[in-house]
Amino acid sequence: MLRQKIIAYSELTRLNRPIGILLLLWPTYWALWVAGAGLPALGVFIIFTLGVIVMRSAGCAINDYADRKVDGYVARTRNRPLVRGVIRPKEALAVFAGLLLVALVLVLQLNGLTIALSLVAVVLAVTYPLGKRWHQLPQLQLGLAFGWSIPMGFAAQTGTVPAIAWVLFTANVFWTIAYDTLYAMADRMDDVKIGVKSTAILFGRFDLFIVSVLYAAALACLGALGWLSHYPAGYYLVLTLAGVLAVFIVRGAKTRTPSVCMQAFKRNNGFGALILLALMVAQF
Q: What is the pLDDT of residue 35?
A: 95
CATH of domain 2-282: 1.10.357.140
Residue 278 contacts by C-beta under 8 Å, 6 or more apart in sequence? 222, 234, 235, 236, 238, 239, 242
Q: Determine the number of helices (DSSP H) and then strands (DSSP E) in the chain.
A: 15, 0
Q: What is the pLDDT of residue 6?
A: 85
Separation CA 249–CA 260 (nearest Å): 10
Determine contact, residues 38/283, Cβ cutoff 8 Å.
yes
Q: What is the pLDDT of residue 279?
A: 97
Between the two ends of the chain, the Cα-to-Cα distance in Å is 52
For CA atoms 222, 226, 231, 233, the dihedral sign is: positive
Determine contact, residues 98/129, Cβ cutoff 8 Å.
no
What are phi and psi for residue 260, nearest 5 degrees? -70, -30
Q: What is the pLDDT of residue 214?
A: 98
Q: 143: how many CB neighbours lie within 10 A of its CB? A: 25
Separation CA 146–CA 125 (nearest Å): 9
What are phi and psi for residue 34, nearest 5 degrees? -65, -45
pTM attached to this predicted model: 0.93
pLDDT digits (tens, 9 = 90+) for 43-79: 999 999 999 999 889 888 888 887 787 777 777 777 8
Separation CA 44–CA 33 (nearest Å): 11
Q: Is 75 left (phi over 0), alpha (psi -120 to 50) or beta?
A: alpha
What is the signed CA dihedral for 126, 145, 19, 185, rounded to 10 degrees? 90
Query: Smallest Cα–Cα separation from 239: which of 182, 280, 190, 202?
Result: 280
Q: What is the pLDDT of residue 61?
A: 87
pLDDT lower than 70: segments of the chain: 1
Q: What is the pLDDT of residue 212?
A: 97
Q: 47: how many CB neighbours lie within 10 A of its CB? A: 19
